[in-house]
Amino acid sequence: MEKIITEIFTAFKEKISSPFFRYFTISWILWNYKFVYFIAFLDEKVYFEAHKITKFDYLMNCNFYPDYWWWLFFLVFPILSTLFFIYLFPYINIYFLGKYDKTIKEEDELKYDYKKFIKNKDIELKKLEVEEKKEEIKVIKEEVKKTKATKEIKTLENTKINDWNKEYEEFKKSQVYKDFWNIIEKIHHHNWYFLDNYNNFVINKNSISYLLANKVIEKSAKSSDYHLFTEKWEYFAKLYFEENNK
């Protein structure tokens, strides 16, 4: 007896666990939701007062005297719905899933393209920042170079001035220094030329030799008889006038 009950229970379990039974149950409830509501939730007293018939009598009349619609809603429509869900719905589901997968794939591709676009933009911005930094560094280097060059020039100028000051102190001990005023006057009188109209030197040759040797003046590349005044000449003349005009 126990074995028979177990077999019956197993068979029943297999039946109710089958897809057909599950889909049929769901379909039957959906097609007959009013009937389910009538059985499970409608109060019998309220129904009797409204229709003067009990729920049991109504059910007996429906079951023993079923009409055309009863067969449609209780059997035909639920069975057709079950067959639809078992045999046709999977194909429809596959179609829409394919569409969904395609949409997801397209969205993923768009997301990938967008991320790639953003990444490329970031790379371009970083490149632009690098170029701007390079330009800034270049400008800074140029400024440093100019500052360094200016300092070097100032250093050279200071060194040159210091050397000239020392040379000027030696110059003050020479005979040329004593005659420096006369030398300047004579040269100025002859338009800063060392020769007169007869090609005679307007100043002592020894003075010219001294000035050439100490690079206070230098010979012109155009003519050996023509002499140029150097920066040292201007500096010595400046110091000379400052000392003698006090």
Q: Which one of 98, 121, 150 terminates a domain?
A: 98
Q: Is residue 148 included in any domain, yes or no?
A: no
Q: How far from chain centre, in Å, is Cα 55?
A: 77
Q: Is residue 16 included in any domain, yes or no?
A: yes
Q: Is residue 185 included in any domain, yes or no?
A: yes
Contact 234, 208 (CB under 8 A): no
Contact 222, 237 (CB under 8 A): no
Q: Is residue 161 included in any domain, yes or no?
A: no
Contact 72, 62 (CB under 8 A): no
Give pLDDT, residue 218.
76
Pair of tokens at residue 137? 């560094």
Q: Is residue 202 included in any domain, yes or no?
A: yes
Judge if pTM exceeds 0.85. Answer: no
Give pLDDT, residue 193.
59
Give pLDDT, residue 17.
60
Angle made by CA atoms 206, 208, 213, in degrees to the nearest 5? 95
Count of the separate structural domains present in the chain: 2
Give pLDDT, residue 235.
82
Q: Which domain holds residue 9?
A: 2-98
Q: Is residue 166 included in any domain, yes or no?
A: no
Q: Is residue 147 included in any domain, yes or no?
A: no
Q: Which one of 67, 98, 129 terminates a domain?
A: 98
What are the b/e assignments for 209-246, b being 16+ CB within 10 Å? ebbeebebbeeeeeeeeebeeeebbebbeebbeeeeee
Give pLDDT, residue 70.
74
Cα–Cα distance between 126 and 36 in angstroms, integer? 69
Give pLDDT, residue 194.
61
CA distance readout (Å), 21 to 47, 79, 92, 143? 32, 10, 21, 90
Q: Is residue 162 included in any domain, yes or no?
A: no
Q: Which one of 48, 73, 98 terminates a domain?
A: 98
One pLDDT digit (tens) per residue for the chain, 246 residues? 566 666 655 655 655 567 778 888 888 888 888 777 777 766 667 666 656 666 666 666 665 456 777 788 788 888 898 888 888 877 877 877 777 677 778 788 888 877 887 888 778 888 888 788 888 888 888 887 887 767 767 777 778 888 888 888 887 888 877 777 777 776 766 555 565 554 556 666 777 777 777 777 777 666 655 677 778 878 888 888 888 775
Give pLDDT, residue 219.
73
Cα–Cα distance between 71 and 75 in angstroms, integer? 6
